[in-house]
Amino acid sequence: MKIGILGGGQLGRMLIQEALKYDDEFYTLDPSSDCPCAGISHFTKGDFNDYQAVMDFGKDKDVLTIEIEHVNVQALEDLQKQGIKIIPSPSAVKIIQQKILQKEFYQKNEIPSPDFQVVRDKSEVNFPLPFVQKLNTGGYDGKGVQVIRNEKELENLWDAPSVLEALVDIEKELSVIVAKNDKGEVKVFPVTEMVANPRLNLLDFNICPSEISDEIQTQIDEIVRKFIQAMASSGLFAIELFLDKNGKVWVNETAPRLHNSGHLTQEGNSNSQFEQMYRVVKNLPLADTDADKYSGMFNLVGEDGYQGKAYYEGLEEVLKLPKTYVHLYGKTETKPGRKMGHINILADNRKELLEKLTTIKSMILSLIHISEPTR
Ligand code: ADP
C-alpha cells in the first residue's frame, strides 16, 4: 500500500521505522530536504500548507495521513472527494487547527475545558484576570500562548484572533492517547504524567503510568469516550489534560496525531503509539497498549547558544546504562530548543523511575552536548 504522510519530522520517521517490518511504501512531503523522513521514505520536497502541493502529493496514494496538523485542509477535503482515504478526517484536522473551533467543540460536546472568551482582536478583550491568551492559529510548542496575570500585563496582549482561557491552578499535566480504526475499534494507552520545562515550554519529562486515583481515571475515561464519539474520525489523538488542585480534570488541547507524550510507549508498552498509528492507517486490528513496567522519557533539545551542525558528545556513556534507550531523529542542524531526539528509561516502580530519570537527566546534561563540535 502507498501511504503518504504530510510532514517529514520525527513523528513520521518513528512511524516509518516501526512500520518497515510490514510491507508498505511510505511517501513524505516536507519543505526541508534534510528532514528526518527524507532518507527513509520516498520524499517529495514541498509545502504541506500549499493546496496544489498537497493535491499533487496525495492524488496517487492509497491513504494519506499527517504528522503535523498545520496542513492544507481544503486539499485534504478535495482528495477525500476524489476517493483518497484521509486519516484523521479533514474535519477533525480543521477543528483542531484552530484554537477557537477546538474550544467550541469541547463546549458543544460537554467535554470539560477551561472557561473562555473568543476575541477577534484586543479591543474585544473582556475576561477576568488572570487568563491565558492562545492565538487561534500558528501556535506550536508553547509559542502563541501567553499568561496575562494582571492589569499591567494587558499591555502584552496580542492583537489577533485568539482564545482567552481561565488560568487553571495546575496540580499535574496529564496526557492520554486514544486510537480508533475504521472498524470502530478503540484502544487507549495508559495515562502519562508530564513535567514541563518552564523555560522552553517543551515537555521536560514524561512518565507512565501516572499516579492518579480511580476517580480521576474515571473522569479521564469519560473525556476520552465523549471525545471519540464527538470527533467521529478514525485516527490517533493525544488529549492533553490538566488536573487542577481540586481534583478536576480539564482538557487543555488535543493533537490529531502521534505525540511527544507517547514516545515512552516505544519500550514501555506492549506496542508503541507508532505501531498503533500504522494499524489505524491500515484499518488493522488495534494493538494492545498495556505497560509492563514504569517508563519515562525526556527530550534531547538543542543547546542554548548553538546553531549549526549537530554533534552528540558523550553518547557512548549513555548507551552503557541499563534499560536506557536513545532515539535520535537524524536532524543535522541543531538550534536552541529544537527537539533532536529523546531518551526512554524503564524501571520497576515509580520511585526507582523518578530516581533514574533525575540521575540520568543530570548526567546527560553534562555528558551529551547537542551542539557544534567544540574542538
Ligand atoms: P502548545 O499548543 O503550544 O503546546 P498549550 O496550549 O499546551 O500550548 O500551552 C502550553 C503550556 O501553557 C501548557 O502545557 C500549560 O503549562 C500552560 N497552559 C496552557 N493553558 C493553560 C491554562 N488554561 N491554565 C494554566 N496553564 C496553562
The per-residue pLDDT for 372 is: 66
Q: Which atom in ligand 1 lies closest to the alpha carbon of residue 139? A: 3
Quote the CA–CA distance of 276 and 287 in Å, as a whole number.
Answer: 6
pLDDT band, residue 365 (cuts 50/70/90):
low
Ligand 1 in reach of 138 Cβ (< 6 A): no
DSSP state of 137: S
Residue 265 pLDDT greater than 70, yes or no: yes
105 burial (CB, 10 Å; 0-12 / 13-18 / 19+) is buried
Kindly report the pTM of this predicted structure: 0.95
Q: Which atom in ligand 1 lies closest to the alpha carbon of residue 250? A: 23
Ligand 1 in reach of 170 Cβ (< 6 A): yes
Residue 179 pLDDT greater than 70, yes or no: yes
Quote the CA–CA distance of 311 and 299 in Å, as a whole number.
Answer: 16
Ligand 1 in reach of 171 Cβ (< 6 A): no
362 burial (CB, 10 Å; 0-12 / 13-18 / 19+) is exposed
Tell me, in angstroms, the distance from the centre of ligand 1 to residue 272's CA: 25
Quote the CA–CA distance of 67 and 132 in Å, as a whole number.
Answer: 27
What number of other Cβ atoms are within 10 A of residue 374's Cβ?
8
Q: Which atom in ligand 1 lies closest to the alpha carbon of residue 167? A: 24
**What is the mean predicted confidence (pLDDT) over 202-219?**
90
Tens-place pLDDT, residues 129-165: 999 999 999 766 667 999 999 999 999 999 999 999 9
Residue 369 pLDDT greater than 80, yes or no: no
Ligand 1 in reach of 140 Cβ (< 6 A): yes
Ligand 1 in reach of 69 Cβ (< 6 A): no
Q: Which atom in ligand 1 lies closest to the alpha carbon of residue 144? A: 3
The per-residue pLDDT for 375 is: 44
Percent of the chain residues past pLDDT 90, beyond the cut: 81
**What is the mean predicted confidence (pLDDT) over 25-36?**
97
Quote the CA–CA distance of 341 and 326 in Å, as a whole number.
Answer: 8
Identify which of 252, 259, 260 to mutate to test ligand 1's pocket (most ligand atoms within 8 A of the CB). 252
| DSSP state letters, 67-114 | SSS-S-HHHHHHHHHTT-EEES-HHHHHHHHSHHHHHHHHHHTT----
Residue 118 pLDDT greater than 90, yes or no: yes
Tens-place pLDDT, residues 38-49: 999 999 999 999
Tell me, in angstroms, the distance from the centre of ligand 1 to residue 141's CA: 9
> In this structure, which residue's CA is closest to atom 3 in ligand 1?
142
Grid look-up 478526517 returns: 89
The per-residue pLDDT for 124 is: 96
Residue 240 pLDDT greater than 90, yes or no: yes
Tell me, in angstroms, the distance from the centre of ligand 1 to residue 167's CA: 9
Tell me, in angstroms, the distance from the centre of ligand 1 to residue 145's CA: 7
Ligand 1 in reach of 268 Cβ (< 6 A): no
Beta bridge partners of 175: 192, 240
Tell me, in angstroms, the distance from the centre of ligand 1 to residue 203's CA: 11
Ligand 1 in reach of 139 Cβ (< 6 A): yes
> In this structure, which residue's CA is closest to atom 2 in ligand 1?
140
Identify which of 100, 132, 135, 146 to mutate to test ligand 1's pocket (most ligand atoms within 8 A of the CB). 132
Q: Strand, helix or coil at 23?
A: coil
CB neighbour list of residue 8: distance below 8 Å, 6 or more residues apart: 28, 29, 30, 32, 35, 36, 37, 38, 41, 43, 67
Q: What is the mean pLDDT of the chain?
A: 93
Chain centroid to CA 284: 23
Quote the CA–CA distance of 318 and 309 in Å, as a whole number.
Answer: 21
The per-residue pLDDT for 251 is: 98
pLDDT band, residue 75 (cuts 50/70/90):
very high
Tell me, in angstroms, the distance from the centre of ligand 1 to residue 252's CA: 7
The per-residue pLDDT for 374 is: 56
Grid coordinates standing for 138?
500558528
The per-residue pLDDT for 310 is: 83
Tell me, in angstroms, the distance from the centre of ligand 1 to residue 135's CA: 12
Tell me, in angstroms, the distance from the centre of ligand 1 to residue 284's CA: 34
Tell me, in angstroms, the distance from the centre of ligand 1 to residue 42's CA: 35
The per-residue pLDDT for 362 is: 76
The per-residue pLDDT for 200 is: 47
CB neighbour list of residue 294: distance below 8 Å, 6 or more residues apart: 207, 208, 209, 268, 346, 347, 348, 349, 350, 352, 353
> In this structure, which residue's CA is closest to atom 5 in ligand 1?
142
Ligand 1 in reach of 46 Cβ (< 6 A): no
Ligand 1 in reach of 18 Cβ (< 6 A): no
